[in-house]
Structure 1
Amino acid sequence: MPAFAYKALDSRGKNKNGVLEGDTPRQIRQQLREKSLIPVEVNQVAQEKTQSAKPKLFSSRSTKISVADLSLLTRQLATLIESALPIEEALLAVAEQCEKPKHKNMMMAVRSRVVEGHPLAKAMSDFPRVFDTLYRAMVSAGERSGHLDTVLSRLADYTEKRHRTSGQISQALIYPIVMLLVAVSVVILLLTAVVPKIVGQFDTMGQELPLATRILIGISDFLQNYGIIAGILIAILILLTNRVLQIPRIELAWHKRLLFLPVIGKLARGTNTARFAQTLSILSASAVPLLESMRIAGNVLENKHLQNLVAEAAIKVKEGSSFRAALENTKVFPPMMMHMIASGERSGELQQMLARAADNQERELESTISIALKIFEPMLIVTMAAIVLFIVMAILMPILALNNSVGL
């Protein structure tokens, strides 16, 4: 039975929004009248295009929720299905617990598709920005194997871990970003407000200023006269660069180069290989075939060049190559991960070894990020100290020269 999102007015003229199930919009309007509500607008949930020119109440393509909310929904659904509750009833219970209207509408739409006889994975495909390819593939595997509750529990663990990891990275980046912003602000303030007042006194000296002082005065004058224009131009340059990097050919070349840059390349490889190992591990544990798992795990990678390498590795596996040999030819994945995969293939415990490889890659990524931040912080402090020292010396040098000339 389809779900419909409605707008209505109560007896006091106040707006009421919600979702009801019915066969037609006319039936929904009748239900609203029976509740003493005046229907204003009724649209089917998850409907992409309406026949009228009126704006949609709800669009499945525009729906997007946070990782934390998705984790909560998945955990609730897994718990209810583990309790032997039918899927449609579990979806209804989850929808009723949703505090945000969009989330409630989404779950009601998924439920309506399930009630119509569609598989849960198919019903979730109406919301690709919420339930991605990985999510739907695992749900489909769980439905086929009859272990949907176990698969959903793994999915909940995966989304919670992803949310926790992204939170840790964000927290770790807050301090250096704040330091960088403060440092740049202090330098700009010195050059535009403090330095001009001091160096203005040098005009009466009647002698040639040292090179460092002239450079400092030039930078200060430039920022005062053209600072805003320079900032706008830099912003435009960043936007143009971002646009250019979206061109497929250029984006692919940039992503390939990115993997082998100092420090940044190690972070990029660590992030992508950790995500690949995590995704492959959870898909393998959910009984998704290896080739399908490789395809899905490759698609969730951020680096386009690495996506192509994984796709080529999948072709080699299909042609009969071992999983380890196919990945090793990419020359991107770390040796430890290759050894663990090889061990899993020989022993027949590839699923367990993939899980260990995923944990190992997560630890390596956290260590790499920690080291990178520890390198960045002292480098920023040293750079700031050098800039401040240059400003101070550029100001003191003509003063010292004047004192020496007076002393003579």
Structure 2
Amino acid sequence: MPTFDYRADDARGRPCKGRLEADSPRHARQLMRERGLWPRTLREVGAGDGANPQPRGGRLKAAELALLTLQLSTLVQAGLPLEEALEAVAKQSARRRVAGLLSAVRSRVMEGHALATALGQFPRAFPELFRATVAAGERSGHLGHVLEQLAAYTQARQASRQKIQMALVYPLILMLASVAIVGFLLGYVVPDVVKIFVDSGQPLPWLTRALIGVSDALRNHGLLLIGALASLVGFWRWSLRQPTLRLRWHHLVLNIPLIGEVLRAMEAARFASTLAILGKSAVPLVDALEIAAAVIGNLTIRARMVDVARSVREGGTLTRGLEQSGDIPPMMLHMIASGERAGELDRMLARAAEQQESSLAARIALVVSLFEPAMLVLMGGVVLLIVMAILLPILSLNQLVN
């Protein structure tokens, strides 16, 4: 059933706006008059395949996806029909974009489509992992329980992402502040100070001459340097959109000391947790492996995980395939092998993911704790060089006077 956004005047003449469902615009105006509303504007949203371009092209934030999934699971487990549950969650949403998206999904469900099929019309909002899990829940008849697990998984991923982002905030601020302070010293303070030494006509130490050269370059070519840096960043972002260059870059990142290890740990934790939630939702192992591989961000690791899925499809064991890939830490491999032998693969995958995320958090904390003093030492060293470049000519002048 189509959904309409309206603006109207109530019985007291006050303007109001809202959303309702009706068979046609004429039916929508009739419903509004029955509610004591006088329609001013009426716009259809979420009807048909081309009537709702905004939700089709929009994305949902992880927090929004987790919230609506949790609300939907609560209503479905309470025995509410799926159409009514979608309508209630849409009305509950404070964001019009999310409400419009859910209304469009509800329209397709009322047309007879399965929920997973309706979600598949909006692939940017609902990722493949989400849709596959919902489809498994519909097949098993435990959609509410599967949605609850999916909400917990989405919330855990969001919490892990926020934890990493918050850990990187202070080092990033410190780096930007250091660059700004050093740039201000070289661009505005140093030229006024060293002008005295230049006017004296005495030979200057090499450190002072180098500092004057850097300062002049920043003052005369600062905009050019900023433009070159912006062009370099633009070229880098363009190269990431090229499949061949992006694959080479991802392969190169894995070989960088410390960063490559952290990236492997992140991808391993994401792979294990995704495989665990799919296994709990009764998704076949081979299909779950292909979906979990698609979730991985690094293309090099993703290609190796696709090979793992292929080897399992051909009859190999999961542990053997992951061991040959070389991207899963030994501790996780032992836990996965234990779960595979005991028939508790889903539970052991979840435990392995939790253990890997804890180890990853500790490793990131270590990297951040090393980065902060390193930035302070680097900034202190640069400031020391600037001070020495200024003091050396002063000492030379004093010796000349004496």
TM-score, length-scaled by structure 2: 0.94
Q: Of 105, 108, 121, which residue of structure 1 is paired with 2:103?
A: 108
Distance apart, 1:242 and its partner CA: 1.1
**Structure 1 counterpart of 2:41, one-letter code:** V
Per-residue CA distance 1:143-197 (angstroms, 9 max, x = gap):
1111111111111111111121122112111111111111111101101111011
Q: Is this contact kept in 1: 2:4–2:22, CA < 8 A?
A: no
| Residues 221, 27 of structure 1: alpha-carbon distance in 2 compared, 3 angstrom cutoff | same
| CA deviation after TM superposition for structure 1 residue 306, in Å | 1.2
Aligned to 1:390: 385
Residues 46-57 of structure 1 aligned to structure 2 (within 5 Å): 47=48, 49=50
2:316 is aligned with 1:321:
yes
Sequence identity percentage: 44
Partner of 2:374: 379
Identify the residue that residue 342 of structure 2 maps to in structure 1. Answer: 347
Whether 2:114 is the aligned partner of 1:119: answer yes
In the alignment, structure 2 segments of 5+ residues that lack a partner are none
User: Which deviations, in whole Å up to 9, do the C-alpha atoms of 1:51-93 show, x marking residues without a partner?
Assistant: xxxxx6x522222222112211111111111212221222222
1:258 to 253, 257, 266: 253
Partner residue in 2 for 1:175 = 170
Gaps of 5+ in 1: 51-55
- 8 A Cα contact 1:7 1:41, kept in partner: yes
Instruction: Indicate how the Cα distance of structure 1 residues 245 and 107 shifts in structure 2: closer, same or farther if over 3 A, else same.
Output: closer
Contact persistence 1:274–1:358 (CA under 8 A): yes
Matches within 5 A, 1:156-167: 156-167=151-162
Residue 270 of structure 1, CA deviation: 1.4
Aligned position for 2:21? 21
What corresponds to 2:64 in structure 1? 69
For the 8 Å contact 1:46–1:126, the answer to whether it is kept is: no
- Out of 328, 347, 361, the position equivalent to 2:356 is 361
Aligned to 1:53: none
Aligned partner of 2:38 in structure 1 is 37
2-side partners of 1:34 and 1:90: how far apart?
Answer: 25
Query: Which SS does the other structure have where 1:19 is aligned?
Result: strand
- Cα distance 1:179–1:44, how it changes in 2: closer, same or farther (>3 A)? closer
Alpha-carbon distance, 1:130 to partner: 2.0
Does the 8 Å CA contact 2:275/2:349 hold for their aligned counterparts?
Answer: yes
- 1:125/1:136 contact within 8 Å kept: yes
SS of the equivalent of 2:41 reads strand
Match 2:74 to one of 72, 79, 85: 79
Paired with 1:84 and 1:9, the residues of 2 have a C-alpha distance of 35
Q: State how far apart, in whole Å, the 1-side matches of 2:152 and 2:117 are.
A: 22
Tell me which moved more, 169-178 or 29-38.
29-38
Give deviations 1:206-254, integer Å, cap 9, x for gaps: 2211110000000101111111221122111111121022110110111
SS at match of 1:329: helix
What is the identity, as a one-letter code, of the residue corresponding to 2:195? G
Structure 1 contact 5–44 (Cα < 8 Å) conserved: yes
What is the identity, as a one-letter code, of the residue corresponding to 2:3? F
| Letter paired with 1:20 | L
- Report the aligned-residue RMSD: 1.9
TM-score normalized by the length of structure 1:
0.93
- Shift of residue 271 of structure 1? 1.4
* Structure 1 CA distance for aligned equivalents of residues 318 and 244 of structure 2: 28
Aligned counterparts of 2:279 and 2:105: Cα–Cα separation in 1: 26
User: Deviation string for 1:304-334 (max 9, x for gaps)?
Assistant: 1111111111111111111011111111111
Match of 1:287 in 2: 282
Q: Which amino acid aligns with 1:157?
A: A
d(CA) in 1 for partners of 2:17 and 2:224? 48
Instruction: Evaluate the alpha carbon distance shift between residue 368 and residue 122 of structure 1 in structure 2; reply closer, same or farther with a 3 A threshold.
Output: same
